[in-house]
Amino acid sequence: MGGDNAPHVEVEGAVAAAREFGVPVTLVGDVEKVQAELARHNCKGLDIEVWHASEVVGMHDSASDAVRKKKDSSIRVAFELVKGGEAVAVVSAGNSGATMAAGMFVLKRMKGIDRAAIAQLFPTVSGKTLVLDVGGNVDCKPIHLVQFAVMGEVYARFVMGVDNPKVGLLSNGEEASKGNELTRETSALLREKPINYIGYVEGRDIFNGSVDVVVCDGFVGNVALKLSEGLAEAVGKMLKAEIKSSFLSQIGYLLSRKAFNNFKKTVDYAEYGGAPLLGINGVGMICHGGSNPKAIKNAIRFAHEYALKGVNGRMAEKLNESFPGDAREREGAQAPDAGTERVAS
Amino acid sequence: MGGDNAPHVEVEGAVAAAREFGVPVTLVGDVEKVQAELARHNCKGLDIEVWHASEVVGMHDSASDAVRKKKDSSIRVAFELVKGGEAVAVVSAGNSGATMAAGMFVLKRMKGIDRAAIAQLFPTVSGKTLVLDVGGNVDCKPIHLVQFAVMGEVYARFVMGVDNPKVGLLSNGEEASKGNELTRETSALLREKPINYIGYVEGRDIFNGSVDVVVCDGFVGNVALKLSEGLAEAVGKMLKAEIKSSFLSQIGYLLSRKAFNNFKKTVDYAEYGGAPLLGINGVGMICHGGSNPKAIKNAIRFAHEYALKGVNGRMAEKLNESFPGDAREREGAQAPDAGTERVAS
């Protein structure tokens, strides 16, 4: 209910996911509004349910307030369904901070995890790169980034299907002498973990396919994500303006339109659907507030696959292996509800 | 002498700047090598001198070591020429950390400035945005970012020709509740300064023309710069691969080639030449190590204009206005030679 165009696009995306991929979907929200949207589609034979929730968390609500005060909000009720075993995953295009906070509040963090993280796939010349965290956690400690690295490694291995994924730490240069206080401490810790840590990577490496998982704090990751979106959009606008400036160019554009469309598909976030919320006892997929039905459809498909593959079980194993017997040490870093206040937009 | 293709491209760029813009140029470096390159050009009537320097700072030398140990390096000698009044500006495609360190060491920081900053112009749909710092200073304090903001404002006003430039602070969201510890403290300080501070901006705002000067620490700025370069390169490669995949697309590309070339010109760093080093008592322009002659030529033109416009005098006035009578307070933040160790690649 909290997306920019809710529940119109959410319902259309859900119907498409149920029809094209056979995913059983429960729509959580104002039952009248949701039913009215459903009536616009042919849902015959589709496994779609509606579950009523009377409240909505708005984009400008504070994340933790929204979760604590609006106990019957669609986002909180959706996570309660997962907790109760009536659903395996939550997909939301609403307030991403509230989604993160609700996920942590209702399902709790995984053992060994102090902060949940939002992970985002970026297109590269040869595949995809997973970047985390892209928005949840500003002012991270080194141990948080190490936890992100382990979660990202498991995600790359079991969801993206990468063998022995290369994990890099985002920095301002590749040499060990570069970085800031946070990255230097984190890098030392990462070298001791059972992952294929390749050291510092730079902003350009996100797009050149030289690394599979890029770890950073949520402030830097969010700047990187929004900068990429902004640049891709600006590039499109500038190119369009140039093409429109001459008749010959316009003819040329028409002839190469297929290439442009394929290219657009590569950089279109809707193809990826959403960004997984890693580190909670369950599956959450965070979509853009302005998602189109295709993005919702793909997010539902990814969330379903993610849950069926039992990735969280793999993650729990890897976390145990990566942090053997230092539970007490980690407890020190674990403030109650850390990260529920300062979250992504 | 320290650039990737030195002194070949530097000499070619300098000859072009002297010929096309009438800028008097002193080439600093190994006199034999530089003369050999000069002999390949027709320099008749051009105001070009050669000044010998026996040492070279390599890309992997530590910045401060290079400056202190290699006292006859081309970069240090070049700044000594400015100090002695025999030149008005330094342009370098060598080790940018060493350039920054040499500039601060020889010319000293401006009064009111604790850290010099590298500023970079980014193309936008409607003009240009200045981002600083993009590489010199990791782990900044709020006062450093405030100083960057004041310097950037003056640069935008007097070099970019923007009336009452809009200054933004890079963050992970526009709302005041977003940001990290550094940005929240900085934002409060910026509101008290005599500049048009518009608050937090996001990564996407760098490219949409909504802000003229974007302030951030050198870690985030460097990640942003390299990410932008990497994405622009990846976009070019992906589009090329798509266009090559069909004959019709190739014909189309040929017809719209002019549009593509104009577009490439917009995002080509060579058009901007270099990134100004702000906060020293003199003018320094830092170019990519892999600069082509056009980039060197444009950097020389910009450096010349910058020096002739007396921008540093304007900056000194604005710094006095922005930090009235708090010299002692600032002294506290000013560690000797801060920033000469950790510098840009």
Distance from the A2 Cα atom to the nearest Cα atom in chain B, whole angstroms: 18
User: Does residue A338 belong to any structural domain of this protein?
Assistant: no
Give dist(CA B286, CA B66) in Å, integer: 17
Which of A179, A205, A248 shows the shortest C-beta gap to B138?
Answer: A179
For residue A332, the model assigns a pLDDT of: 43
Distance from the A93 Cα atom to the nearest Cα atom in chain B, whole angstroms: 17
**CB neighbours (10 Å) of residue A237?**
15
Pairs across A and B, CB distance < 8 A? 238
**CB neighbours (10 Å) of residue B93?**
28
pLDDT band at B268 (very low <50, low <70, confident <90, very high): low
Is pLDDT at B99 greater than 90 in this prediction? yes
Spell out the residues 6+ positions from residue A230 whose beta carbon is closer than 8 angstroms to its own. B202, B203, B204, B205, B206, B207, B208
Name every chain A residue with its beta carbon within 8 A of the beta carbon of B251: 252, 255-256
**CB neighbours (10 Å) of residue A272?**
17
User: Does residue A2 belong to any structural domain of this protein?
Assistant: no
DSSP B167: E
For residue B337, the model assigns a pLDDT of: 42
A222 and B342 in contact by Cβ < 8 A? Answer: no
B258 and A243 in contact by Cβ < 8 A? Answer: no
Name every chain A residue with its beta carbon within 8 A of the beta carbon of B252: 251-257, 259
User: Does residue A3 belong to any structural domain of this protein?
Assistant: no
User: Does residue B120 belong to any structural domain of this protein?
Assistant: yes
A180 and B125 in contact by Cβ < 8 A? Answer: no
Arithmetic mean of pLDDT, B158-182: 93
HEC profile for B92-147? ECCCHHHHHHHHHHHHCECCCCCCCEEEEEEECCCCEEEEECCCCCCCCCHHHHHH
Strand residue runs (E) in B265-342: 275-278, 283-286
With CA atoms as reference, the chain A residue closest to B173 would be A345
Pair of tokens at residue A222: 């969010």
* Structural domain containing residue A157: 8-333
User: With contact defined as beta carbons under 8 Å apart, do B3 and B28 qualify?
Assistant: no
pLDDT band at B270 (very low <50, low <70, confident <90, very high): low
Which of A123, A219, A243 shows the shortest C-beta gap to B180?
Answer: A219
B203 and A223 in contact by Cβ < 8 A? Answer: yes
Of A130-139, B102-111, B170-179, the range with the highest mean pLDDT is B102-111
User: For residue A73, what is the domain's CATH number?
Assistant: 3.40.718.10
pLDDT band at B148 (very low <50, low <70, confident <90, very high): very high
Name every chain B residue with its beta carbon within 8 A of the beta carbon of A64: none
Task: Count the helix, strand and coil residues of chain B and give each as a percent rounded to the nearest 5.
Answer: 50, 15, 35
Beta bridge partners of A283: A89
Residue with tokens 């301002």: A172
For residue A326, the model assigns a pLDDT of: 56
B248 and A258 in contact by Cβ < 8 A? Answer: yes
Peptide bond into A133 cis (omega under 30): yes
DSSP B62: -
Can you give the pLDDT of all 345 residues of chain A as single tens digits? 999 999 999 999 999 999 999 999 999 999 999 999 999 999 999 999 999 999 999 988 888 887 889 999 999 999 999 999 999 999 999 998 899 999 999 999 999 999 999 999 988 878 899 999 998 799 999 999 999 999 999 999 998 899 999 999 999 988 888 899 999 999 999 999 999 999 999 999 998 889 999 999 999 999 999 998 888 777 777 777 777 777 777 777 777 777 767 666 666 666 777 899 999 999 999 998 889 999 999 999 999 999 999 999 999 999 999 998 654 444 444 444 444 333 343
User: Does residue B271 belong to any structural domain of this protein?
Assistant: yes
Which of B218, B222, B224 lies closest to B339 in space, CA to CA?
Answer: B218
For residue B266, the model assigns a pLDDT of: 64
**Residues A295, A298, A303: CA angle, nearest 5 degrees:** 120
Distance from the B287 Cα atom to the nearest Cα atom in chain A, whole angstroms: 17
**Residues B207, B208, B214: CA angle, nearest 5 degrees:** 60
User: Does residue A195 belong to any structural domain of this protein?
Assistant: yes
For residue A342, the model assigns a pLDDT of: 38
With CA atoms as reference, the chain B residue closest to A138 would be B180
Distance from the B250 Cα atom to the nearest Cα atom in chain A, whole angstroms: 7
User: Does residue B341 belong to any structural domain of this protein?
Assistant: no
Give dist(CA B66, CA B72) in Å, integer: 10
User: With contact defined as beta carbons under 8 Å apart, do A284 and A103 qualify?
Assistant: yes
Our count of domains for chain A comes to: 1
User: Does residue A15 belong to any structural domain of this protein?
Assistant: yes
